[in-house]
Structure 1
């Protein structure tokens, strides 16, 4: 009787963990696919390092799909095989897990053939930069509102956009490595991290602080390169703040999913899933992706990436 009770309690606990993990994953998927929508209709100047140039060159839908795929591959492989000094993670059905990752790779290839049409935003009197140098009758100090992206040819835009999306995906996929490293070494005796917390949400503040510090450094470097004339638009401030809040909530949900599902399961789901949401914004609202061929490619890609996500999810059960 005691044995049956213990086993039943274990099953209920495992079921609760899976419910929390997959619910957190679903919330993260929706918010990651939506968090750039608030800033989409506003001129953001040069923006941050990769996101804004990617959106301006290849669009919200295709850009997020590409970097999410490389995010998936980097995060999944580092967790599955124990790269960068972290412990390799096991799943109950490894074959399904490999199939899920393989299908995600296939979807990446399909997405590369989807063409998007991105309209460059026109700057009006109401979207003039917040920070700019005032000058009168001085042609050398005339401020140009055009971004460096706007002067690129369509081919260069596609090449640069896809390249930045790949680089961004690799860095995104590595962002949880320090947390996983500390947790893994926290379970060992005689290390600096012995006794470290095993609850992923405890590392959110340090994670966000690192992002804030790095972004500040990037912005200061950008201001120096622009000779103290950064392109900062007042109308983009509140939408940018909203986008950041959505991203922060999504990232917290990702931390929770990592804890209850493990990174080797959460990464394929959370990195592949936002592509569905972003592409729907790109197709239905922003009209970036048009034409029967592109719709067919997206449909095939969605089916492949859905199969990959389900395979990854069932590999845990």
Structure 2
């Protein structure tokens, strides 16, 4: 005969308040997740959805990147200088000469200056999104959110590339705060610093030029047509030294300068980029004793 009553209780119809605790059946203890475990799970879930994703292929911090072939690193001397526009113009000018160009937009996606500049999207891999612009230019942009330069994944190796253009997308101060990130630790053959032809812009750019003080440093000055620009009279000593070495490219101010898309760039901008490419390809002998050291060959 079953010991259970109609109510299904092993104690019959006896009120439970008359049952001693020792008579109750043992129930295994169940412990829920701790607050720390819940917080860790939430952070992991948020990074998979919209934050910085977990990357099994991400390099260790401080890993160095050595690009193949000629590499030009483009940096802004100050906010709104137009570095992304110059980087794209250099790539397009090189493609017009029959070169295969790889452009790396290393900025965080929300600050990208090259979003929307490709005509054909080629998919994503290794933390980068790739697109094609014209016949000879491939643009890669960072796929996921990046709070610091170290959050940007290491670029993938590419074969059969004549020129690599890196649009840094981070300020000099941010790179100095993370000196072991690949954008700061890479050794490009040429550093291009972009500045507007204003006193405040040149003042800030002087610091960036000082950090990239080597023979492969060039300056792009936007908003001035003339080689002997009067704006340089207020420039610092390092910028004036670049001018003496013919290592400054002057770009006139263009209407709609910041509007970048998949279409062709203005001819005036491409001509200036071609002059810059000529400077990167043809270094000249040092000046005589008493001069300012090695300089780049000037172009018309």
**Higher helix share goes to which structure?**
1
Q: Bigger relative contact order, structure 1 or 2, given CA contacts below 8 A and separation 6+?
A: 1
Bigger-Rg structure (1/2): 2
Where is the strand percentage greater, Structure 1 or Structure 2? 2
Scaled to the shorter chain, the TM-score interval is under 0.3
